[in-house]
A and B are shown apart, each in its own frame.
Chain A
Amino acid sequence: MRILVAAKLSLDAGQLKFDSSGHPLIDACPRRMGDADKCAVEEAVRAKEKLGAETVVVTIGGSAEHARIIRDAYAMGIDKGYIVRINEPETLSLPTVARIIAEIYRRTGPYDLVFLGVGSNDTHSSMLAPMLSSMLDIPLLPSIDKLDVKNDGVEGIATMEDGSYTFRARFPAVISITSEANEPRIPTLRAILKSKRIPIQEVSPEDLGVNVERIRLENVERFILPRRRILMEAGDQSQIEEAVGKLLEALRSEGVI
């Protein structure tokens, strides 16, 4: 069995700060492999441990931090990694990202399974897995919280707005994994040291025959919806009574209760 995992270096949105004019301080924000991507890597390694598989990771981007994503995946147990060298991967259009992953699938395959995170930590479109499934014309198991890989196929359970869906498909298939799917392993020191010796294959979009399209980004700025921001201290009992009284009065005059 062969499994391809796509993992993205993404910003930790919870730690993003803004300057006084509302521009994001992107360079000061920590970046790491997305939470869901990490769970996708974990699922691939578990499938390998259970059934035997060659596991391959791909990431898109040119910096040393991008190479670190591959090393992190190696440390978790992935066998082989491709880095698609391109600068400013943040401004690639989603169809370009999808085509790059599709070409890696075609040119370094055959693969039985492709794992993606259901959404990256920073842009979270969740559209890549359906795009890939349609481009490759193979089944999609979307938003999977619970995965069971068997010798001849997969079963996955997804929670959506209206209930739970169980998907069953034969290979090959594209699967997007949620960050609820598992608890990713923390690599041992030995695994981390070993990961440094595994080579990383470098390819360019030209090698893959992919025409690079960029989005036309004009501006990024802090987004806060105007809210009233009326705060009430409620430390002791009398403050609590007063705060609750004021709150109820306000909610009544807003007409929401």
Chain B
Amino acid sequence: MRILVYADNASWLKQLRGLADKLEAEACALVFDGNLVEEASRLFSRVYYSSLQAFNPLQAAHVAAKALEKCNPDIMAAPCTNKGRIVAGLFSALSGGLPVSDVISVEAEGEELRVKRLVFGGTASASLRVNVPAVLCVSPGAMPEATYRGSIGVVEELRAESAGGIEVEFKAREAVGVEPDKADVVVVAGRGVKRREDLSMIRELAELLGGAWSVTRPLAADYGWSDTWIGISGLSIAPRLYIGVGVSGQPHHMMGVRGAKIIVAVNKDPNAPIFNEADYGIIGDLYKVLPVLIRRLKERGA
């Protein structure tokens, strides 16, 4: 079997290489980011690279078509990120492959695949039988990160035709301290945090733990306290430690934190759904619990 992988960061290159290893497939990679070429060449024997005008979907489609022609894969794989889902959709339309998103496991059974995916906001999993060609959009943390192969792959630059019809302008996210999708520890504020000023507590806790802070969607999208949020429609994270503070744990949020090694929740409602998915839960008022937690961490630091 042969697999073509699209990835938008280094961790995803390793996770999708992990998928290829699991399927014992020959693997090529497609990247649109020049900074990923070297990393990709340590993991894949063949790397297709093209620098797009920002993330121009028409150009992405042209380049994806070229990469498909060169690699001729049975399986195409991409991460369950915004761009990954777009590229997966393009792969499917271009190749006729059946797309499956939110994939958490894959097994080859003869010429078929048995695929498990999350559905219903991550509360359930569905098992499917899928013929190749297939397009798998993989859930974060579902595949083990592969290690380097020891040899360096061949890099081939694909020319992106100028894409008339659509123009794209990109503005990089302003770094607010540590980026949540790159941090080892992420503290997330939910609607239990009542005022914008109170985010300073969340930030202080994150700093003491050497991590990043973020919010649930309502705090970002409705209140405008942050540009990004954690969850299926925002960032997916897989830190060593996630601490949800005043977060109820609704499926669409939890889907973005499933990859965390340890989940901690602070919530005053003993029936909050997050406690069903937490390793450690403190049932109490965040306005009383957080000051103690912060003090104890400072004492330790001192």
Contacts and interface: CB of A to CB of B under 8 A. Distances in A.
Given A14-B251, A131-B89, A257-B241, A119 B98 contact: no
B101 A124 contact: yes
Q: What DSSP secondary structure best describes chain B's contact surface?
A: mixed
Interface in B101-139: 101-102, 114, 118-130, 137
A14 B125 CA distance: 15
Interface stretch (A58-66, A73-81, A106-114, A218-226): A218-226
A135 B171 CA distance: 29
Nearest to B254: A225
A223 B98 contact: no
A24 B123 CA distance: 9
Interface string B159-182: 000000111111111000000010
Nearest to A237: B288
Size bin of chain A's contact surface = 35 or more
Given A168-B166, A218-B128, A119 B281 contact: no
Interface stretch (A47-55, A185-193, A201-209, A244-252): A244-252
B120 A256 contact: no
Nearest to B279: A228
B126 A234 contact: no
Contact of B83 (A131, A134, A161): A161
Q: What DSSP secondary structure best describes chain A's contact surface?
A: mixed
A243 B290 CA distance: 11
A227 B270 CA distance: 17
A221 B116 CA distance: 11
A223 B82 contact: no
A94 interface: yes
Nearest to B122: A223
Nearest to B300: A248
A134 B97 CA distance: 13
Nearest to A172: B165
A222 B127 contact: no
A89 interface: no
B288 to A, nearest CB: 6
A133 B57 contact: yes
B172 A227 contact: no
A178 interface: yes
Contacts of B170: 163-166
B1 interface: no
A160 B120 contact: no
A29 to B, nearest CB: 8
B129 to A, nearest CB: 4
B126 A219 contact: yes
Given A139-B166, A161-B81, A221-B124, A244 B98 contact: no
A241 interface: yes
Nearest to A241: B292
B251 A234 contact: no
A241 B295 CA distance: 10
A165 B289 CA distance: 39
A127 B85 contact: yes
A56 B82 CA distance: 27
25 contacts: A16-B121, A119-B233, A122-B119, A123-B120, A125-B85, A125-B89, A127-B99, A131-B92, A160-B81, A160-B82, A161-B82, A162-B172, A167-B167, A168-B168, A169-B167, A173-B166, A218-B129, A225-B277, A230-B279, A230-B281, A234-B283, A234-B284, A240-B292, A248-B296, A251-B264
Per CB-CB distance, the 10 closest pairs between chain A and chain B, nearest first, are A130-B89, A234-B284, A13-B121, A134-B93, A127-B89, A228-B279, A125-B101, A139-B166, A126-B85, A223-B125
Interface of A: 11, 13-14, 16, 18, 24, 93-95, 98, 118-119, 121-135, 138-143, 158-170, 173, 178-180, 215-225, 227-235, 237, 239-241, 243-245, 247-248, 250-251, 254-257
Given A95-B99, A163-B172, A223-B125, 14 more contacts: A14-B250, A16-B121, A95-B98, A124-B102, A125-B101, A165-B168, A167-B167, A167-B168, A215-B98, A218-B129, A222-B123, A227-B276, A230-B281, A257-B185
